[in-house]
A and B are shown apart, each in its own frame.
Chain A
């Protein structure tokens, strides 16, 4: 039983294309996140949604657009892909609870390669 799933696992595409990554969680969590992990393994938050509402929107090019149709799904659409977008993208989910011990559960990651 996969808790947080992402599709696709690998994505190879050319510069200028538009692509989407899908994420689904079956943990009943109310908050979902997108992270980018670069080639040096640095993990950085991009977006988060709580109950379909955007609550974190880091300094990310507006070519990246998250969409949350419901609290179990958070998709990431990327327009006009650039070489620098090549990275591993992780989806995560948790219960929202400032001051709590709620950890984030991560998906398996999507390795995006832009050629």
Chain B
């Protein structure tokens, strides 16, 4: 079974609109971390935001927020007021802490296109 599922292979969104990128995860580990990374067409991987499984509040970083719904095992990324520069691949990832090896498993990604 896939540990991280991103069901949207591609999305088109009008500039300035808010975007929600879906991510569901599968783990029985009570302690885990969830990450989102951005990969623009230039190829580099850029860390965006982190949510720990015990964090009480949803993580926010500037225009990025993580809609963490623990019971549903969902960690959607919300980008407010999208910009043309947000066009990129977005990867959701998870670290299961009981493994003790800091391994991060990535989803297959969602390609986001922001339209002018």
Name A residues whose Cβ lies closer than 8 Å to a Cβ of B: 31, 40-45, 48, 50, 55-56, 88, 90, 92, 94, 96-106, 108-109
Contact = CB atoms under 8 A, between A and B. Distances in A.
Interface string B46-69: 110010100000000000000000
A94 B50 contact: no
A50 B43 CA distance: 26
B104 A104 contact: yes
18 contacts: A40-B108, A41-B39, A41-B108, A41-B109, A42-B109, A43-B91, A45-B103, A48-B103, A50-B102, A98-B99, A98-B101, A99-B31, A99-B97, A101-B50, A103-B50, A106-B37, A106-B45, A106-B46
B43 A41 contact: no
Interface of B: 31, 33, 35, 37, 39, 43-47, 50, 52, 89, 91, 95, 97, 99-106, 108-109
B106 A44 contact: yes
Contacts of A40: 108
A42 B106 contact: yes
Contacts of A92: 45
A48 B31 CA distance: 21
B47 A88 contact: no
A100 B104 CA distance: 12
Contact of A43 (B31, B47, B101, B106): B106
Contact of B52 (A48, A56, A99, A108): A99
A106 B44 contact: yes
A106 to B, nearest CB: 4
B45 A94 contact: no
